[in-house]
């Protein structure tokens, strides 16, 4: 093949200099990010990054969205670019649930303001759902990914967020995963996540290989993807 823009199909065999090239299996893991770690590969200020918590063999993974340095909780990392793109694009409205601890008792009369939305960075930032657990403890669901969105929205309402933990991403829950620890997603979890991310098209083919996000694309179809170590 001399057409370098051609994309191989699920059952195609690709050879380079007569040697068969095998696509790397896709991998998605869940990390319980502690406070004090940044969601990037390298930090110019020499702060700890989430990759300091992972084995070297995961150095080619990239995170699906970000948590700011002081936010804890569920962070997904993957080598599946298309999946990452869809899970972070606002078009697909993937729920991200957080436990929020405020510096003083919450006034429920302010909830409509945050549900209607306020402008941050030139766009309307909204909270999708808000539930009071106790006077200073709330559960918040976002479907956007604006920088420091929860902290900034509550600051606009006159509150300071003392503690913030992401406890759910789509259908995945942090549950009892210990702080600073990680685990691979099960095949069932990956299947469920893919069904949600690709709800507008037929399920993607089994192994899309490893690549960085580029553009939203409709995948070729050959069954649901699998998570492999």
- Write out pLDDT tens, residues 61-87: 999 999 999 999 999 999 999 999 999
So what's the pLDDT on residue 158? 97
Closest listed residue to residue 103, CA positions, set 165, 67, 155: 155
- pLDDT on residue 15: 62
**For all residues of the chain together, what is the average pLDDT?**
84
Per residue in 169-225, pLDDT tens?
Answer: 999 999 999 999 999 999 999 999 999 888 887 545 545 545 554 455 444 433 333
Please report the pLDDT score of residue 90 as a whole number: 83
> What pTM was computed for the model?
0.78
Q: How far is CA 47 from CA 51, 61, 82, 141, in A?
A: 11, 19, 29, 28
Of 12, 17, 43, 68, catalytic:
68
Is 12 an active-site residue?
Answer: no
- Structural domains in the chain plus CATH codes: 95-169 (3.30.70.1560)
Please count the other Cβ atoms lying within 10 Å of the Cβ belonging to residue 178: 9
């Amino acid at each position: 093949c001399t057409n370098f823009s051609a994309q191989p199909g699920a059952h195609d065999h690709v050879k380079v200099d007569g040697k068969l090239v095998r696509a790397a299996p896709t991998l998605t893991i869940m990390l319980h990010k502690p406070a004090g770690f940044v969601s990037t590969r390298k930090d110019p200020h020499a702060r700890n990054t989430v990759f300091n918590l992972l084995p070297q063999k995961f150095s080619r993974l990239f995170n699906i969205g970000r948590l700011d340095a002081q936010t804890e909780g569920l962070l997904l990392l993957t080598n599946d670019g298309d999946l990452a793109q869809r899970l972070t694009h606002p078009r697909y409205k993937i729920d991200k649930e957080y436990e929020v601890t405020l510096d003083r008792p919450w006034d429920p009369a302010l909830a409509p303001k945050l549900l209607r939305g306020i402008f941050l960075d030139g766009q309307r930032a909204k909270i999708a759902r808000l539930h009071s657990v106790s006077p200073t403890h709330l559960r918040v669901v976002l479907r956007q990914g604006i920088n420091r969105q929860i902290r900034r929205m509550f600051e606009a309402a006159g509150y300071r967020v003392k503690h913030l933990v992401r406890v759910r991403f789509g259908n995945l829950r942090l549950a009892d995963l210990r702080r600073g620890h990680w685990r691979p997603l099960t095949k069932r979890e990956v299947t469920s996540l893919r069904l949600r991310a690709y709800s507008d098209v037929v399920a993607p083919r089994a192994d899309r290989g490893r690549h960085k996000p580029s553009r939203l694309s409709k995948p070729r179809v050959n069954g649901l993807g699998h998570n492999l170590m």
